[in-house]
């Protein structure tokens, strides 16, 4: 059965929705069986408040730019339809993004997305590279993932970059391995069941083999 994962990122006005910060951008790219499908979801969101200058310096999204964008309740149904009910959501420092998304859903009177549906690539990276720098930029450098076009943070761009980093964190695109992450964030590698292949032997090959066997001196199977 195919496994659908949504690699995503958000941009916000700050660090904590409980103190008034809001979601302003969300970007998701679709991956099925560890391959990008080309499908994505992207939306800017009017936070109904000003975007602090410190946040603008990070992502470049201003209050004026967001003024005519829809509020979250207006895009909520489309977002939930895209996310579905069982797709895995993968983010770098997923707790941060999950907190903002679920706050918006709860504020709109909708059920939250269960935390077990989220995978945190930061947690995976910290397990694989303890004590090392594990920001998205640092992981791009470590794995040779190009992020030269990334001058500012942007949700969709970061999601696309993270998709490549996620694959590398799971060991790369290695043939014959089924790569996954368990509920504790540990990488699990299992052998894929390969289709049985047939290598028919021709009559000529059989005859040559029989001739070769007659020329052997004291073969071990006669011992």
Residues placed in the known binding site for substrate = 9, 11, 59, 158
The conformation of residue 216, written as its DSSP 8-state character, comes to -
Three-state SS at 148: coil
Please state the residue numbers annotated as binding site.
9, 11, 59, 158
Sequential DSSP letters for 12-41 = ESSS-GGGT--EEEEEEEEEETTEEEEEEE
- Token pair 């992502």: residue: 59
Please state the residue numbers annotated as binding site for a divalent metal cation.
9, 11, 158
- Token pair 């909520």: residue: 76
* Cα distance between residue 13 and residue 55, in whole Å: 6
- Token pair 């809001």: residue: 22
Handedness of CA 165, 36, 173, 7 (dihedral sign): positive
Q: Write down the catalytic residue from 40, 92, 153, 209.
A: 153
Q: Dmax of the chain from CA atoms?
A: 90
In this structure, are residues 65 and 47 in contact, taking their beta carbons and an 8 Å threshold?
no
Sheet holding 4-12, edge to edge: 35-44, 23-32, 4-12, 88-91, 118-120
**153 noted as active-site residue:** yes
* Cα distance between residue 156 and residue 87, in whole Å: 18
Residues serving a catalytic function are: 153
């Amino acid at each position: 059965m195919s496994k659908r994962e949504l690699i995503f990122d958000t941009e916000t006005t700050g660090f904590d929705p409980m103190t008034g910060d809001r979601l302003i951008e969300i970007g998701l790219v679709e991956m099925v069986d560890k391959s990008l499908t080309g499908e994505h979801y992207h939306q800017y969101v009017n936070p109904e408040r000003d975007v602090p200058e410190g946040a603008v310096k990070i992502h470049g999204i201003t209050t004026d730019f967001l003024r005519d964008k829809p509020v979250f309740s207006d895009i909520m149904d489309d977002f939930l339809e895209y996310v579905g009910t069982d797709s895995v959501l993968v983010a770098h420092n997923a707790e941060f993004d999950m907190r903002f998304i679920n706050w918006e859903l709860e504020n709109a009177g909708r059920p939250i997305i269960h935390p077990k549906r989220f995978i945190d690539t930061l947690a995976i990276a910290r397990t694989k590279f303890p004590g090392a720098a594990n920001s998205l930029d640092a992981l791009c450098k470590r794995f040779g993932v190009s992020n030269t076009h990334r001058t500012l943070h942007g949700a969709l761009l970061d999601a696309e970059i993270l998709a490549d980093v996620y694959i590398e964190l799971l060991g790369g695109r290695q043939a014959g391995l089924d790569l996954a992450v368990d509920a504790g964030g540990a990488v699990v590698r299992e052998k894929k069941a390969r289709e049985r292949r047939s290598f028919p032997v021709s009559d000529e090959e059989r005859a040559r083999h029989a001739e070769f066997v007659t020329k052997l001196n004291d073969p071990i199977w006669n011992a």
